Amino acid sequence: MATWKIATVQPDYHILVDRMFYSVPFQYIGSQVDVCRTNTLVEIFFKDSRIASHARLYGRKEQFSTNQEHMPEAHKMYISHTPESSREWAATIGESVGEVVTYFLNHMLEQQALHKILSLQKLGVNYPPFPFLPILKRCRIIIIYQGCRKYGQSVQDKPQ
């Protein structure tokens, strides 16, 4: 048996249904939508047109069902942003960037490292060709120097 309710699309392009979150296309943020719930399906309608459909979530409250097609382009970048994709990107820029990215990934919580790496990527997009290589070469030297001092190793590549 189906039940209906009205929900408002939140700024994160999700609606709340029975303490679970379901995505809708981001263009509908702020809109009121009709929601049809069955035992297996949640369907979302705007002005009598179905705009989204999800398998119904059960179990732990506040789970998310997010369709990537519902995301704005800027948000899709975060989904594909992984340690491996960060290393691949850094390798295309240069050795210094690769070493800084590796340092971030090895010495920070993953989320913090990915956030810093994403900032570097945005700099490269906003200011091509990547003009920060000399700065990152210097950062790389400082990172190596600090790491060696921390562990009592000799330093071959001291900063100037």
pLDDT of residue 94: 79
pLDDT of residue 80: 72
pLDDT of residue 34: 98
pLDDT of residue 44: 98
Peptide bond into 11 cis (omega under 30): no
DSSP state of 13: S
pLDDT of residue 36: 98
pLDDT of residue 154: 43
Residues in the chain with pLDDT values less than 70: 77-78, 125-133, 136-160
Q: CB of 51 within 8 A of CB of 28? A: yes
pLDDT of residue 38: 97
Cα(105)–Cα(99) distance, rounded to whole angstroms?
A: 10
119, with CB counted inside 10 A (0-12, 13-18, 19+), is exposed
H helix or E strand, kind and range, residue 36: strand 32-37
DSSP state of 25: -
pLDDT of residue 56: 97
Place of tokens 């990107």: 89
39, with CB counted inside 10 A (0-12, 13-18, 19+), is exposed
pLDDT of residue 4: 97
pLDDT of residue 119: 80
Cα(124)–Cα(117) distance, rounded to whole angstroms?
A: 11
The tally of CA atoms less than 13 A away on the side-chain side of residue 159 is 15
Q: CB of 44 within 8 A of CB of 34? A: yes
pLDDT of residue 152: 45
pLDDT of residue 81: 79
Cα(123)–Cα(48) distance, rounded to whole angstroms?
A: 43
Q: CB of 78 within 8 A of CB of 35? A: no
